[in-house]
C-alpha cells in the first residue's frame, strides 16, 4: 500500500473528537508545531478567507509562511501551503511517510492505543512540513469546531473566531450557544482572541469562555470605519489611517472577514511579529481563495463556482448574485446527505432561474435524482432538472444563458474546478 493509499484508508476512522491522540502524536514527532509561531483561526464560515488574507499579509511582510486549511479542493497537498503554493508532492510524501512510521511505532509500543484519524495524521503532516520547510510563521485553520479539533494542540500567538452559524450540528450542537462554546475551545490563557461578526447569543458565550480561559477578547468590528459594496465587491476603510481597500475576495460578507483579518494582524504585530500597514493592505487586496465566489471563463460561458455547503454560505452566495446584478441564474448544485439541504436551497431559490441537481463520487453524497426530489418542493415554480455527471450538468446549465452557478459541497466544486481548469478554464 502506498503512502497516499494508507492516508486515504484512514478516512474509514471517521471523525473523532478529542486531543489525547494528537498530543501523543506530536510528542512522538518531537513537537514540530513548536518550532515556529502559529496563528489559529476558527469559525463556521469565513475562517478560510481570514486565513488567506492573514497569510498573504504575512508573506507580503517578508515572512516565509505556512498555511494549513481543509478540506482540499482536488489534491491532498493543497491543504498544506508554503509561501502561498501547495507543498511539493515529494516533501509532502516524505513527511507523510515519516508521520505514519511514527504512528506505527507508537501503536506498537502502546503510546497510542487508538489509531489516529485521517485528519489527525494530515494535521501532523502539516506541522512536520512547516518544520522542514523552515517557515517563519504558520496560519492554522480549525477543521471542525475548535475545542477537540486536532489543530488545538498548538500554542498560538493569536487566535480568531470569524463567525458562528449552523453546520456540523451532529458534532457541535444544535444551538448557536453550543456551537460557539465548541469553537471557543481554542481560547488560551494570555493569547489574544479576535472575534468577528457574531450573533449576541454566540458573542456572549465566547466572551464567557474567553474570560474563563484568561484570553483577552478583541472585537474586530471596532476597526471598521466604512464599507461599500459595488457589483458584489466590497471596498473597506479601517480606522488607524488605512486607505480604502478593494477586497480581492468577492461578497459583502467579506467586509466582516476583512475587519477580522486586519485586527488579527494588528494583534500579531503587538505579539512580536511586525507586519505593517502596507502588507496588511496587500493581504486584503491580493488574497486568493479558489472556489469561493470565483468566476471561471469556459468555452461555453462564465461559471460562478462557490463552496456554499451550509445555509449561511448559501445566503452569502444569494446576496452576492443580487449585489452583482446577475440574478437569476441557473444553479447546478450537489450536497452531502448530512447537510441542511432545505436551508441551502431556500435562499438560492430567490436567485435561481432553474436548478440542475447533480451528484458527487462520495458515499455521503445525495444522488442527482434524490437531490432533485428534495429541491423541487423547496423551490415552487422553479424548474428542477437532474444530470448525474457534473461536467454535463454545467454545460446544460450554460446552454442558452452564457452564465451559470455551480455551488454546494466542496467535494463537488473542488474536483469540478480542477477538471475545468485542466480543460482550459481561466479565473476572471
Which three cell numbers, joined as nine digits, stand for 124? Answer: 501532523
DSSP 202-235: HHHHHHHHHHHHTPPEEEGGGGEEEEEEETTEEE
Considering only CA atoms, which of 253, 251, 247, 243 is closest in space to residue 285?
A: 247
Query: Angle formed by the axes of helices 20-28 and 118-132, to 10°?
Result: 30
Q: What are phi and psi of 301, to 5 degrees?
A: 145, -165
Query: Which of 222, 255, 286 is the last residue before a domain boundary?
Result: 286
168 shares its domain with 242:
yes
Q: What is the DSSP letter of 365?
A: B
- Residue 17: its pLDDT value, please? 67
Same-domain status, 204 and 161? yes
Q: Are residues 329 and 180 in the same domain?
A: no
Nearest to 267 by CA among 149, 160, 351, 153: 160
Q: Which residue has the cell 494582524?
A: 265
Verify cis geometry, omega within 30 degrees of 0, for the bond prior to 47: no
d(CA 219, CA 357): 40
Beta bridge partners of 330: 354
- Calculated CA dihedral for residues 332, 338, 341, 342, nearest 10 degrees: 180
Task: Identify the CATH number of the domain in which residue 72 sits.
Answer: 3.40.1190.10
How far CA 301 is from CA of 295, 296, 399, 427, in Å, comes to 10, 9, 9, 12
The maximal CA–CA distance of the chain, rounded, in angstroms, is 64
Walk along the chain (428 residues) and give the pLDDT tens digit of each residue.
788 899 888 887 766 667 999 999 999 999 999 999 999 999 988 999 999 999 999 999 999 999 999 999 999 999 999 999 999 999 999 999 999 999 999 999 999 989 999 999 999 999 999 999 999 999 999 998 889 999 999 999 999 999 987 755 555 667 888 999 999 999 999 999 999 999 999 999 999 999 999 999 999 999 999 999 999 999 999 999 999 999 999 999 999 999 999 999 999 999 999 999 999 999 999 999 999 999 999 999 999 999 998 898 999 999 999 999 999 999 999 999 988 999 999 999 999 999 999 998 888 889 999 999 999 999 999 999 999 999 999 999 999 889 999 999 999 999 999 999 999 999 99
Same domain? 173 vs 276: yes
Query: Is 385 in the same domain as 268?
Result: no
- Give CA–CA dist 226/238, Å, rounded: 7
- Distance, in Å, from the CA atom of 358 to the CA atom of 349, rounded to the nearest integer, reads 16
Write down the pLDDT at residue 35: 98
Q: Helix 89-108 and helix 118-132: axis angle, to 10°? A: 120
**Based on the structure, what is the number of domains in the chain?**
2
**How far is residue 381's CA from residue 339's CA, in Å, rounded to a whole number?**
24
Q: What is the dihedral of CA 207, 209, 215, 216, to 10 degrees?
A: 10
- Looking at the fold, whether 154 and 210 belong to one and the same domain comes out as yes
Query: For position 104, what pLDDT does the model report?
Result: 96
Distance CA 426, CA 428 (A): 6
Q: Pick from 259, 286, 313: which residue ends a domain? A: 286
Exposure pattern of 115-134 as b/e (b: 16+ CB <10 Å)? bbbbbbbbbbbbbbbbbbbe
Domain that holds residue 149: 3-286
Residue 375, domain CATH: 3.90.190.20
Do 355 and 379 meet the contact criterion of CB atoms below 8 Å apart?
yes
| Whether residue 356 sits in one domain with residue 277 | no
- The torsion region of residue 107 among left (phi > 0), alpha (psi -120 to 50) and beta comes to alpha
From the CB of residue 137, how many other CB atoms can be counted at a distance below 10 Å? Answer: 22
Same domain, yes or no, for 48 and 192?
yes
Euclidean distance between CA atoms 358 and 378, whole angstroms: 17
- As beta bridge partners, residue 197 has none
Quote the CA–CA distance of 250 and 263 in Å, as a whole number.
Answer: 20
Residues 73 and 200 in one domain: yes
Same-domain status, 324 and 262: no
Residues 277 and 397 grouped into a single domain: no
Q: Locate 114 and state its grid cell.
A: 487508538
What does the pLDDT read at residue 189? 98
pLDDT score recorded for residue 364: 85
Domain boundary pick from 248, 266, 286:
286
Contact 388, 359 (CB under 8 A): yes
- Do both 261 and 329 map to the same domain? no
Amino acid at each position: 500500500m502506498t503512502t497516499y493509499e494508507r492516508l486515504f484508508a484512514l478516512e474509514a476512522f471517521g471523525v473523532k473528537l478529542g486531543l489525547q491522540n494528537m498530543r501523543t502524536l506530536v510528542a512522538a514527532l518531537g513537537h514540530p508545531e513548536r518550532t515556529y509561531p502559529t496563528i489559529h483561526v476558527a469559525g463556521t464560515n469565513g475562517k478560510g478567507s481570514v486565513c488567506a488574507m492573514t497569510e498573504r499579509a504575512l508573506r507580503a511582510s517578508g515572512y516565509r509562511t505556512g498555511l494549513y486549511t481543509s478540506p482540499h479542493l482536488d489534491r491532498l497537498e493543497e491543504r498544506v501551503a508554503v509561501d502561498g503554493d501547495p507543498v511539493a508532492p515529494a516533501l509532502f510524501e516524505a513527511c507523510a511517510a515519516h508521520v505514519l512510521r511514527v504512528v506505527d511505532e507508537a501503536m506498537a509500543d502502546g503510546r497510542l492505543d487508538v489509531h489516529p484519524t485521517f485528519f489527525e495524521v494530515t494535521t501532523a503532516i502539516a506541522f512536520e512540513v512547516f518544520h522542514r520547510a523552515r517557515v517563519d510563521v504558520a496560519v492554522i485553520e480549525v477543521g471542525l469546531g475548535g475545542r477537540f479539533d486536532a489543530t488545538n494542540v498548538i500554542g498560538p500567538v493569536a487566535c480568531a473566531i470569524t463567525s458562528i452559524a449552523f453546520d456540523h450540528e451532529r458534532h457541535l450542537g444544535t444551538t448557536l450557544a453550543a456551537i460557539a462554546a465548541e469553537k471557543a475551545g481554542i481560547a488560551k490563557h494570555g493569547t489574544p482572541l479576535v472575534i468577528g461578526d457574531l450573533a449576541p447569543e454566540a458573542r456572549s458565550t465566547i466572551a464567557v469562555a474567553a474570560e474563563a480561559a484568561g484570553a483577552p477578547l478583541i472585537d474586530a468590528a471596532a476597526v471598521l470605519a466604512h464599507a461599500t459594496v459595488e457589483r458584489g465587491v466590497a471596498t473597506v476603510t479601517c480606522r488607524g489611517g488605512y486607505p480604502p481597500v478593494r477586497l480581492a475576495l468577492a461578497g459583502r460578507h467579506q467586509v466582516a472577514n476583512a475587519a477580522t483579518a486586519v485586527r488579527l494582524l494588528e494583534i500579531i504585530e503587538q505579539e512580536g511579529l511586525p507586519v505593517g500597514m502596507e502588507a496588511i493592505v496587500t493581504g486584503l487586496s491580493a488574497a486568493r481563495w479558489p472556489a469561493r465566489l470565483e468566476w471561471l471563463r469556459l468555452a461555453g460561458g462564465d461559471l460562478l463556482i462557490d463552496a456554499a455547503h451550509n445555509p449561511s454560505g448559501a445566503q452569502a452566495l444569494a446576496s452576492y448574485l443580487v449585489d452583482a446584478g446577475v440574478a437569476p441564474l441557473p444553479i447546478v448544485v450537489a450536497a452531502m446527505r448530512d447537510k441542511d439541504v432545505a436551508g441551502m436551497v431556500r435562499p438560492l431559490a430567490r436567485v435561481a432561474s432553474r436548478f440542475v441537481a447533480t451528484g458527487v463520487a462520495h458515499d455521503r453524497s445525495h444522488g442527482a435524482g434524490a437531490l432533485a426530489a428534495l429541491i423541487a418542493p423547496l423551490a415552487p415554480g422553479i424548474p428542477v432538472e437532474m444530470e448525474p455527471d457534473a461536467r454535463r450538468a454545467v454545460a446544460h446549465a450554460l446552454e442558452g444563458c452564457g452564465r451559470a452557478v455551480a455551488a454546494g459541497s466542496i467535494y463537488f466544486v473542488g474536483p469540478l474546478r480542477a477538471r475545468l481548469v485542466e480543460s482550459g478554464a481561466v479565473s476572471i
